[in-house]
């Protein structure tokens, strides 16, 4: 079998870069995400069942069952799960992504994006902000109250505002925010206020209550991660556009469930390659150390998959105060990623590197040849359910998943 891997890889990245995801609506997961069921919970990362789930993912599962009203308390929730009454599937199997635990249930309001170039859709839940949040495995009444407010108050207002517009071009927003010190994964300060500023006039027109409007604008504007979830869905739409190209060795999914790091490759269909996720190396909040840290978790590595996040570190020198290092380290991080990628992004450019495009499209062959895995910026979750974020830092996927993928590639294509 003769395959032109270089050409296939170019097709993959061109599809990824040409994808133009537009935020089109906010709606209930059950009304829009394909295949969702009342007793199905979506989660971040590759497939995993309850016995192997880490603390933060278990916490988020419990929280979602409480939110859905399927369980009255933690005990009942765990009992239902252990009795096999709840099904678990990756967000990635449903055109969706979620930060950290990524747990998404039927009644949650979600963002719906459409890649208007190729027609595929992608979904993500709404960002909860800081402090005690479901995505870090917290499920206290305070956490659930905020989720209910997001689902019943803010969500419908967002839905009406976005419906009244022609949609929000998230690729264009990212292009702008990368010129404003964001890298799009751990640092989304500029993107989040750009997003808030774009939504504000629409929300004002849609509003029926000054108080809810004011609360919503404050919630979006003060959360430097407001835009992370639409950004992740945009990256998912881009990565999906590049998935399934025969003969391509470009990575189209990187995702972690808190136990395993999972990888998928454009030319290898829906097969996951997994290995144990590592504990990130970074800065911890006061009172916490790496002994408190859960292994790497979340679908947010979809940003690096699409050519931003740690790959665009050079654009975000101020991030080093949050994840450790110097501005020169940030430049070097991006320069290193050019070694293992196949293209420079045509829409995401880095002023600090004379407007060079971000390194895009990780080639598993280059990863193996150079012994160099992709860089990932990430938040760090406490290893126990219900605690929350304890730091932020850098991590790399295990080399084994690239090795396994390359072996599978050689087998499939009889190389």
Between 117 and 207, CB nearer to its own copies: 207
Instruction: Check residue 211 for interaction with its own copies (CB under 8 A).
Output: yes
Q: State in angstroms the smallest separation of the CB of 161 from its own copies.
A: 10
Instruction: Measure the CA dihedral 148/154/160/162, to 10°.
Output: -120
Residue 14 parent element (H or E): helix 5-18
Instruction: Check residue 190 for interaction with its own copies (CB under 8 A).
Output: yes
Using CB under 8 A as the binding criterion, the count of chain residues that bind its own copies stands at 39
Between 217 and 372, CB nearer to its own copies: 217
Instruction: Check residue 167 for interaction with its own copies (CB under 8 A).
Output: no
* Interface with its own copies in residues 67-106 (CB under 8 A): none
Pick from 37, 140, 152, 318 the residue near its own copies by CB under 8 A.
318
Q: State in angstroms the smallest separation of the CB of 52 from its own copies.
A: 41
Q: Is 356 exposed, middle or buried (0-12, 13-18, 19+ CB in 10 A)?
A: middle
Pick from 18, 107, 117, 207 the residue near its own copies by CB under 8 A.
207
**Torsion sign over Cα 200, 201, 207, 211:** positive
Measured CA to CA, the distance from residue 191 to residue 182 in angstroms comes to 7
Instruction: Supply angle C-alpha 174, 177, 179, rounded to 5.
Output: 115
* Interface with its own copies in residues 126-165 (CB under 8 A): none
Instruction: Check residue 196 for interaction with its own copies (CB under 8 A).
Output: yes
Q: State in angstroms the smallest separation of the CB of 394 from its own copies.
A: 17
Between 343 and 382, how does the x/- string for binding to its own copies read (CB under 8 A)? --------xxxxx---------------------------
Between 129 and 181, CB nearer to its own copies: 181
Q: Which residues of 28-50 are buried (b: 16+ CB within 10 A; e: fewer)?
A: bbeebbeebeeebbbbbbbebee
Between 41 and 315, CB nearer to its own copies: 315
Report the 10 Å Cβ neighbour count for 355: 9
Instruction: Check residue 217 for interaction with its own copies (CB under 8 A).
Output: yes
Instruction: Check residue 194 for interaction with its own copies (CB under 8 A).
Output: yes
Instruction: Check residue 193 for interaction with its own copies (CB under 8 A).
Output: yes
Between 348 and 402, CB nearer to its own copies: 348
Residue 322 parent element (H or E): helix 320-323
Residues in the chain: 415
Measured CA to CA, the distance from residue 37 to residue 312 in angstroms comes to 37
Instruction: Check residue 180 for interaction with its own copies (CB under 8 A).
Output: yes
Between 181 and 244, CB nearer to its own copies: 181
Pick from 34, 35, 119, 201 the residue near its own copies by CB under 8 A.
201
Give the SS3 label for residue 295: coil
**Structure-token pair, residue 236:** 């998912």
Instruction: Check residue 39 for interaction with its own copies (CB under 8 A).
Output: no
Between 79 and 201, CB nearer to its own copies: 201
Measured CA to CA, the distance from residue 12 to residue 244 in angstroms comes to 8
Pick from 55, 307, 317, 391 the residue near its own copies by CB under 8 A.
317
Instruction: Check residue 276 for interaction with its own copies (CB under 8 A).
Output: no
Closest to 118 measured CA to CA, from 29, 22, 4, 26? 22
Measured CA to CA, the distance from residue 410 to residue 317 in angstroms comes to 39
Stretch that binds its own copies, among 68-76, 133-141, 178-186, 261-269 (CB under 8 A): 178-186
Between 271 and 326, CB nearer to its own copies: 326
Q: Where are the alpha helices (DSSP H) in 110-227?
A: 141-149, 155-163, 170-177, 189-206, 210-221
Q: Where are the alpha helices (DSSP H) in 33-178?
A: 55-67, 74-82, 141-149, 155-163, 170-177
Q: State in angstroms the smallest separation of the CB of 224 from its own copies.
A: 10
Q: State in angstroms the smallest separation of the CB of 223 from its own copies.
A: 10
Instruction: Check residue 166 for interaction with its own copies (CB under 8 A).
Output: no
Instruction: Measure the CA dihedral 130/154/319/345, to 10°.
Output: 140
Stretch that binds its own copies, among 47-55, 90-98, 243-251, 326-334 (CB under 8 A): 326-334
Measured CA to CA, the distance from residue 80 to residue 98 in angstroms comes to 23
- Residues within the interface to its own copies (CB under 8 A): 176, 179-181, 189-190, 193-194, 196-198, 200-202, 204-205, 207, 210-211, 213-215, 217-218, 220-222, 317-318, 320-321, 326-328, 351-355
């Amino acid at each position: 079998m003769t395959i032109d891997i270089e050409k296939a890889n170019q097709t993959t990245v061109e599809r990824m870069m040409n994808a133009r995801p537009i935020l089109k609506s906010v709606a209930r997961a059950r009304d829009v995400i394909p295949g969702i069921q009342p007793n199905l919970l979506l989660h971040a990362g590759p497939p995993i069942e309850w016995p192997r789930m880490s603390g933060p993912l278990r916490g988020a599962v419990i929280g979602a069952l409480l939110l859905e009203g399927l369980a009255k308390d933690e005990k009942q929730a765990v009992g239902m799960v252990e009795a096999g009454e709840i099904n678990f599937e990756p967000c990635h199997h449903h055109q969706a992504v979620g930060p950290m635990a990524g747990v998404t249930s039927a009644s949650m309001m979600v963002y719906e994006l459409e890649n208007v170039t190729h027609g595929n859709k992608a979904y993500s839940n709404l960002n909860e902000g800081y402090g005690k949040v479901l995505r870090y495995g917290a499920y206290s009444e305070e956490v659930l109250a905020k989720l209910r407010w997001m689902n019943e108050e803010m969500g419908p207002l967002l839905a009406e505002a976005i419906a009244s517009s022609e949609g929000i071009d998230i690729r264009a927003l990212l292009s702008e925010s990368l010129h404003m010190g964001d890298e799009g994964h751990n640092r989304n300060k500029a993107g989040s206020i750009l997003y808030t500023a774009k939504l504000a006039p629409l929300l004002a027109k849609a509003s029926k209550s000054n108080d809810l409007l004011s609360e919503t604008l404050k919630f979006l504007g003060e959360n430097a991660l407001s835009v992370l979830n639409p950004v992740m869905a945009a990256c998912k739409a881009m990565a999906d556009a590049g998935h399934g190209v025969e003969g391509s060795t470009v990575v189209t999914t990187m995702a972690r469930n808190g136990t395993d790091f999972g990888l998928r490759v454009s030319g290898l269909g829906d097969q996951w390659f997994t290995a144990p996720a590592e504990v990130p190396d970074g800065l911890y909040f006061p009172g916490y150390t790496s002994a408190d840290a859960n292994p790497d978790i979340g679908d947010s590595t979809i940003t690096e998959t699409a050519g931003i996040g740690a790959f665009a570190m050079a654009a975000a020198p101020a991030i080093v105060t949050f994840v450790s290092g110097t501005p020169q380290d940030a430049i070097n991080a991006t320069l290193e990623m050019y070694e293992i990628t196949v293209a420079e992004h045509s829409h995401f450019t880095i002023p600090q590197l004379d407007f060079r495009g971000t390194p895009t499209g990780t080639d598993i062959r280059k990863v193996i040849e150079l012994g160099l895995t992709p860089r990932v910026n990430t938040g760090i979750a406490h290893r126990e359910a219900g605690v929350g974020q304890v730091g932020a830092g850098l991590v790399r996927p295990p080399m084994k998943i690239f090795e396994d993928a390359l072996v599978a590639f050689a087998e499939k294509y009889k190389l």
